[in-house]
Chain A
């Protein structure tokens, strides 16, 4: 096993809560006739895709139903064989409330999918056609990362999975080890990289071992200390390579490309199996009767996923469903939310009424200790409350990655991260005015 790299930041150490699902093999969710699938036109960062199907049209699994409407945008494919029922606002979106979606009603499934044209060989083009985005949750279109302007040298496969509860990447590393290594090597060859590094937290020793034995000398496995947010792009790059992404720059500017485990697997499926991105693995954990990892066709309403896990345990204190992990995920307003490309987990919290009373800041400095970006959350908070844009900018508010470590650590339970999120647009405007 390779040596440990000391983490360059303190971060926080939440309980990992992964034992409920870490030994549960990925199950497949079967599609029945008449099941409805709701596909958001915007399942990625950037411009929403443009719908190219009409109501009543029958589609096959893997058939393109919406095309990317710009460079930073992504294709969307039908997850099942079915009929387009409508294009409307019927599904709930955890962030925007309602969002336009294509509703597809499943018919009898052939079990096949429409393959990507074999003529397309360039990796970025394949990713673009297959509609692959960052599946770790960021949903940044993968083809943008795969068409760098400069020569890159290192691929980091992010298997840190530092969010509590989530195990979808862990299970895939165990169950599809060779596919994962193959996918990483395909990216390496396509971009003519020097090195592939798998970065995995040490709470997944089984995954570390199996990837090490599978990759041999073709790739390096870097065990990481179990610290949140070790899976953050910038933190991981620094821990693994010692390189720092300068402010406002991208990993490609320091010759690094970083992809999540699920994204690499999706790329491998697109290149080798010619399969567009129509399903993904989701961890459903917390207060459900039977926590599971499930391979889910995109667009499946989470009500069906929760049902597949035996339903949510009843609680007198109300319920809170988190889309994603408990550190960065957003709460669901209903179970009408369909799964989308960036959804890596559904966590039903057992004690959901966490509405703490805030106390004055006593400047204890726990937030400073926790911040992986070396910022000073407590100073930023007082600047943000007083709209001091200049100080917010000079104290690097725009470097905040919104990981929530400061809010997690604060003994006075001050909503630090929320304030930073709210203050950012104004500071961006201020910074823009500075540079012109």
Chain B
């Protein structure tokens, strides 16, 4: 048997399992980029200047990520597409008129303060793109709310208010929407409305969201419970006070609801792990969004609602862990142990 010894050192040793499904984190992140493509194309078509916003945000975000990795002594992580996704989502939260310096400040907040400070990919408690959006909204309210009307034909941009903010201003001035000219849900659905880059075209976002669901990158729990809760609340309120808020379909397709439900709330790192937690998370987002839209001072509440629910994620994970095989059910457990 000793004659075999000569080949001994050529055997590779490792611990089981020796095969792998071939799933790849980078590819999963890239799928999100693919899913966002229709919305990106749509926004560039609607607002030509948005190309500048995208470019400024993406380039600065990748730079910040690279510099941070260098300072932290880590191998750079640009290949994982996470900074890329974050920066696209951030750009989608900015108006087409956003100045370049604001895009860079936003990228800095998203990548450096909201993500890398916590340790990089997988460690951030809050959605980086939303942290940056809220930061910019509070710090630079004027620039963050200067929207322009879509300029499909290349006509000069005309400044305009978003559906949500115009309705809010009108109802605060007149004590209701009585006499307000309602936009059609059809317009909101296609995207011919003023708004942040990613908040205008519901159809492009829905296509992307559907793709993410079919590609099994995200599960249905968060988007469905988010949108259903929001729809339920809006319908009830609209039924009770038809003059107080915008009609349900306009509500659903305007603002950041679709973008939030499919792309922001489903962020792996900051959303709950288990189905029950995901449902509660989505419902919480829905409730807070609509509460802010109806009763708050801000016209839009998606970003706030997701950030608030991000904070609840560890709690949801801790207490909604599914029962392990063979484990006693919650009711039968011996609490003393």
Contacts and interface: CB of A to CB of B under 8 A. Distances in A.
Is chain B found bound to chain A in the same assembly? Answer: yes
Interface of A: 9, 12, 14, 36, 90-91, 164, 234-235, 238, 244-249, 301, 303, 318-322, 324, 326-336, 349, 352-356, 359-366, 368, 372-376, 378-379, 395-396, 399, 404-405, 407-413, 415, 417-418, 421, 434
A3 to B, nearest CB: 23
B273 A376 contact: yes
Contacts of B80: 359
A417 to B, nearest CB: 7
B323 A330 contact: no
B139 interface: no
Contact of B25 (A234, A372, A404, A412): A412
Nearest to B18: A326
A410 B23 contact: yes
Contacts of A327: 16-19
Contact of B322 (A363, A374, A408, A411): A374
B11 to A, nearest CB: 6
Nearest to B217: A364
B23 A36 contact: no
A399 B268 contact: no
Interface string B299-337: 000000000000000000100011111111000000001
Given A249-B326, A334-B5, A322 B269 contact: no
B14 interface: yes
B13 interface: yes
22 contacts: A90-B1, A91-B1, A245-B325, A247-B324, A303-B1, A321-B11, A322-B18, A326-B17, A327-B18, A335-B4, A352-B18, A356-B20, A359-B25, A359-B26, A360-B121, A362-B82, A362-B122, A362-B268, A379-B273, A396-B324, A417-B15, A418-B15
A363 B24 contact: no
A409 B121 CA distance: 19
Nearest to B80: A359
B61 to A, nearest CB: 17
Interface residues of B, number: 45
A261 to B, nearest CB: 22
A364 B14 contact: no
B41 interface: no
Contacts of B19: 14, 164, 326-327, 354, 408
A334 B21 contact: no
B120 interface: yes
Contacts of B5: 334, 336
Interface of B: 1, 4-5, 7-8, 10-21, 23-29, 80, 82, 120-123, 219, 268-269, 273-274, 317, 321-328, 337
Given A336-B5, A363-B269, A404-B17, 18 more contacts: A14-B21, A36-B1, A246-B328, A247-B324, A303-B1, A326-B17, A330-B16, A336-B4, A352-B12, A352-B18, A359-B121, A360-B122, A361-B122, A365-B268, A368-B273, A378-B273, A379-B321, A409-B21
Nearest to A301: B1
A399 B23 contact: no
A318 B273 CA distance: 39
A405 B25 CA distance: 17
Nearest to B2: A336
Contacts of A330: 15-16
Most B C-beta atoms less than 10 A away, residue of A301, A363, A374, A418? A363
Contacts of A12: 21
Nearest to B27: A411
Nearest to B271: A363
A244 B326 contact: yes
Given A322-B18, A375-B324, A411 B11 contact: no
Contacts of B4: 303, 334-336
User: Which 5 interchain pairs have the tightest Cβ spacing?
Assistant: A404-B17, A411-B23, A360-B122, A320-B12, A396-B324
B273 A365 contact: yes
Contact of A374 (B7, B25, B219, B325): B325
